[in-house]
Structure 1
Amino acid sequence: MHDAHYHYSKEINALQNEYGISGICNVANEKEYELIHHKHLFYSCGVHPWNASLDTLESMLPLLEKAPIIGEIGMDSVWCDVDLAVQKEVFEKQLQLARALNKPVILHTKGQEKMILELIRKYPNTYVVHWYGCMDYVKEYDEVVSYFTIGPSIGKEEEVTRLVEQVSIDKLLMESDGIEAVKWAIDSDDYIAALQNEIVQVAKLKDKSYFEVERVLDQNFLKLIKSSSFANGW
């Protein structure tokens, strides 16, 4: 198994070691970077829309330049009240940097799916859409992005289930988004069960066996890692 997008916790780190789970740990500030770097974890790094400001971007630039993957970045008009003009400017500057440095990008698209789609069309790249929760623009995103992560709410949240129905299995990745997100999504903090449930749900929707789905999703993850880490000297 893998976890293509998660926020660090000691619990997740221990379970990943126990079960041999590979992942991409999200880094949002220098303190998180020092922790992840010390533990030699593979990671992405970006200015999240909730923290978007030009000052934050300026301070984070050295970390963005080191990171094998840029993210999670994007725009959000549902869960935060940061000025959208500021979010857009910070987001687009990071898209430009990722394009210039040939680094894949993990996207946060809450409530701003249309604007983000317009922006990423300007900067062709390897894009991973994290936990897409919108009924609209799936076809349009599918035309320009490389992967979609499966939100742990699959089977409960119609938008996530519909996404998996519409997207090829070759473009899907597993994610937890961290322990708190798992609790929110499935009313449980069982990290392993959440990842396993994603495989079970995809197997049902794609009419494939559990082990076939697990194999394909893990292959997708390895392709993403190779496109990022090896290309950027990780």
Structure 2
Amino acid sequence: MHDAHYHYSKEINTLQNEYGISGICNVANEKEFELVQQKHLFYSFGVHPWNASLDTLNSMFPLLKKAPIIGEIGMDSVWCDVDLKIQKEVFEKQLQFAQALNKPVILHTKGQEKTILELIRKYPNTYVVHWYGCMDYVKEYDEVVSYFTIGLSIGKEEEVTHLVKQISMDKLLMESDGIEAVKWAIDSDDYLAALKNEITMVALLKNQSYSEVESILDHNFSKLIKK
């Protein structure tokens, strides 16, 4: 089992160790970077749109150079009020950087799906779309990205369920987004149950067995982290 995108907590770290769950820990600042180094965790690093500023980007370039995966990065006009011009500039500079160094990218697309699609078409790369929550542009994204992580709200949010129905199994990954997201999505803090529910729902939607789905999703994750 894997968790292709999560924010660190002691609880998640303990459960991953106990159950042998592989993952990509999202890192957003120097403090978190130091933590994942101490814990020897596989991680992604990027300037999140909520924190977008050119000063922040410039100060974070040394950590971006060290990161095996860039992200989560993108644009957001739903959950933050950072100037979209600044968000776009910071996002595009990171896309350019990731492409130049051949680093995969994890995307945050909330409310800015069309703009982000236009930008990533300019910079071909290995892209992972995190918890896509839009009914539009699914086919267009499928043409240019490598993977989509499955939001925990599958079966609850129409957009996430629609995505899984439309995307082939070889392009899907599991994610939790962290304990706070688990609580929001399933009204519980049961991390392991949330991941298992993702597999169960995908199996139902794709008419495959639980074990088949788990094996395919884990294979996809292995391919991603080997890049």
Normalising by the smaller structure, the TM-score range is over 0.9
TM-score of the aligned structures, taking structure 2 as reference length: 1.00
Aligned to 1:181: 181
Instruction: Report deviation, 1:84.
Output: 0.0
Q: Find the residue that maps to 1:110 and give its secondary structure.
A: coil
User: What is the CA-CA distance between 1:13 and the residue it aligns to?
Assistant: 0.1
Tell me the CA shift for residue 104 of structure 1.
Answer: 0.1
Aligned to 1:207: 207
**Residues 166-202 of structure 1: CA distance to partner in whole angstroms, max 9, x if unpaired?**
0001000000000001101111100000000000000
For residue 76 of structure 1, give the secondary structure of its aligned residue in structure 2: coil
> Equivalents in 2 of 1:189, 1:161: separation in Å?
21
Mapped partners of 1:55, 1:153: distance in 2: 35
Residue 115 (structure 2) aligns with: 115
Residue in 1 aligned with 2:93?
Answer: 93
1:192 counterpart = 2:188: no
The list of structure 1 runs, each at least 4 consecutive aligned residues, that deviate by more than 2 angstroms after superposition, is: none
What secondary structure is seen at the aligned counterpart in 1 of 2:109?
A: strand
Per-residue CA shift, 1:125-173, capped at 9, x if unaligned?
A: 0000000000000000000000000000001010000000000010000
Map of 1:172 onto structure 2: 172
What CA distance in whole angstroms lies between the structure 1 residues aligned with 2:6 and 2:152? 11
The code of the aligned residue for 1:184 comes to: W
C-alpha separation in 1, matches of 2:45 and 2:80 = 20
Corresponding position: 1:105 with 2:82:
no
The alignment status of 1:14 with 2:14, answered yes or no, reads yes
**How far apart, CA to CA, are the structure 2 residues paired with 1:180 and 1:206?**
28
* Counterpart amino acid of residue 163 in structure 1: L
SS in 1 for 2:33: helix
Which secondary structure does the structure 2 equivalent of 1:23 belong to?
Answer: strand
| Percent identity over paired residues | 86
Equivalent residue number for residue 60 of structure 1 = 60
Aligned equivalents of 1:135, 1:105: Cα separation in 2:
22
Q: Give the secondary structure class of the aligned counterpart of 1:106.
A: strand
The CA deviation at 1:74 is 0.0
Using the alignment, how far apart are the partners of 2:141 and 2:154 within structure 1? 19
The 5 A counterparts of 1:70-149 are 70-149=70-149
What amino acid does structure 2 have at the position aligned with 1:208?
Q
Distance 1:102 1:200 in 2: 34
How much has 1:102 moved relative to structure 2?
A: 0.2
TM-score, L = length of structure 1: 0.97
String of CA shifts for 1:50-79, please: whole Å, max 9, x gaps: 000000001110000000000000000000
Where in structure 2 are there 5+ consecutive unaligned residues?
none
Name the CA distance, whole Å, in 1 between partners of 2:177 and 2:60.
Answer: 21
Q: Which amino acid aligns with 1:53?
A: S
Q: Which residue of 2 aligns with 1:232?
A: none
CA deviation after TM superposition for structure 1 residue 12, in Å = 0.1
Distance in 2 (alpha carbons) for counterparts of 1:126 and 1:211 = 27
